[in-house]
Structure 1
């Protein structure tokens, strides 16, 4: 009798794993990471949201649910199979055991350095070594770049906060001198906080390029589905609509209004 129960359970798991490949609606998880994904009047919007929806729509795949969680929880839920997809995340090797990564990212960006506009001459940024002249603000749990992470932990005076909003407040108040942040996310936050004129960004000297992916649960999604998603995403990236979405990402409009 036990082997019958085990067989039935195994068949259920196989059927679940093939759900994505057969076009069954997906349970999607994300976090608050503007302008990639964020909540406006109870609706989840953003450039990554719009890209993901467009790609799945082109595949004939519906979204059963789209929910916001703290990032670590969203990842854990997807690894456990409680959700099928989580985005937008960097490619981390240790997650490959539990999550499928497409070859193609949803979008690319850069980690860049921000300083007070009033001090941009005194705190010029040409190389990492220049940051020894002040104090760096970083976010707890963020991975910027392997080499840079090692450098700042060994050589820089730094302070850790829970989110970049706090870092920018500390920057303009003089409590830190440098902030490393995602370029788009940093500019978005500064605009919302009304601090654009008080902060200078060294956009032409990125710490590192970063790629943000949709990641799929190996417990519920088959590899063939991920391959189809990757092909559909690459095709969408060749479209003018994709280029417009990325181009207007700094302006945080309603992305569902961009049009076909």
Structure 2
């Protein structure tokens, strides 16, 4: 009995010794609040948060999430701070400054307007003269960004764009549809006032990214990719996605 007790004490000492704490590998993850993918809290949660944590945990990393405005998160990563952003869209303009992981999810990017204003479109020429709310520093489909047929009006966040559509200041906004619905419900805005305009603008992969100026960027991205393959093969990724889809 005494031998078991001393063994137990030895395990506790190893777990909480300074050496054990020193060996803990911590990564700082930056992201704006983007529910249901990133939900501010203590600690932050969300679909992306849970996936990224699970993948990094398989590689011995503990990722600590800091919620910041997206433009600031992106700049800190691009300027070489020792961080990753956990839910980034790829774009040609970003590839020069950021190193991207393999995509861990795909987002359905849609145009959203009021039900009373719905219309059909096939090409961007069909949107000639219409105004679309976008969010500053977000990466959108290159064809959407380069289209001369529509006016892109910047805002700091999605809720602002939702209100602009409701007030008639813009015709529509562009957003991942799950995010749009979540934001409306959270702010007591009836989602049935709005409709998605088909077809979708794009399907965008969701990535972890780190600034190429960060000496640890390659290590972080490769570790995530290894972890992602593991949680995909053992079913953990599917379990996390189903949890949030059911909610």
Q: Secondary structure at the match of 1:109?
A: strand
What's 1:101 paired with? 100
What's 2:167 paired with? 173
Q: CA offsets per residue over residues 173-205 of structure 1, 9 Å max, x none? A: 333222211222212112223221100113x52
Verify: 1:227 aligned to 2:227, yes or no: no
Count matched residues.
223
What's 2:28 paired with? 27
Verify: 1:156 aligned to 2:161, yes or no: no
What's 1:17 paired with? none
Q: CA offsets per residue over residues 86-124 of structure 1, 9 Å max, x none? A: 22112234544554322x12321021011211232xx23
Q: CA deviation at 1:230?
A: 0.8
Q: CA deviation at 1:157?
A: 4.1
Verify: 1:130 aligned to 2:151, yes or no: no
1:97 and 1:135 map into 2 onto residues whose CA distance is 30
**TM-score of the pair, normalised by structure 1:** 0.74
Dislocated runs of 4+, deviation >6 Å: none
Aligned-residue Cα RMSD (Å) equals: 2.6
Q: CA deviation at 1:207?
A: 0.7
Tell me if structure 1 keeps the 8 A contact 2:103–2:207: yes
Verify: 1:195 aligned to 2:190, yes or no: yes
Q: CA offsets per residue over residues 46-70 of structure 1, 9 Å max, x none? A: 111000110111112223x321122
Verify: 1:38 aligned to 2:39, yes or no: yes
2:45 and 2:162 map into 1 onto residues whose CA distance is 23
What's 1:56 paired with? 56
Q: Secondary structure at the match of 1:25?
A: strand
**TM-score of the pair, normalised by structure 2:** 0.77
Q: Secondary structure at the match of 2:29?
A: strand
Q: CA offsets per residue over residues 210-243 of structure 1, 9 Å max, x none? A: 1121113442416355323212212312443322
Verify: 1:111 aligned to 2:109, yes or no: yes
Tell me if structure 1 keeps the 8 A contact 2:25–2:60: no
Verify: 1:147 aligned to 2:143, yes or no: yes
1:24 and 1:72 map into 2 onto residues whose CA distance is 27
Q: Structure 1 regions of 5+ residues with no counterpart?
A: 1-21, 254-260
2:29 and 2:78 map into 1 onto residues whose CA distance is 12
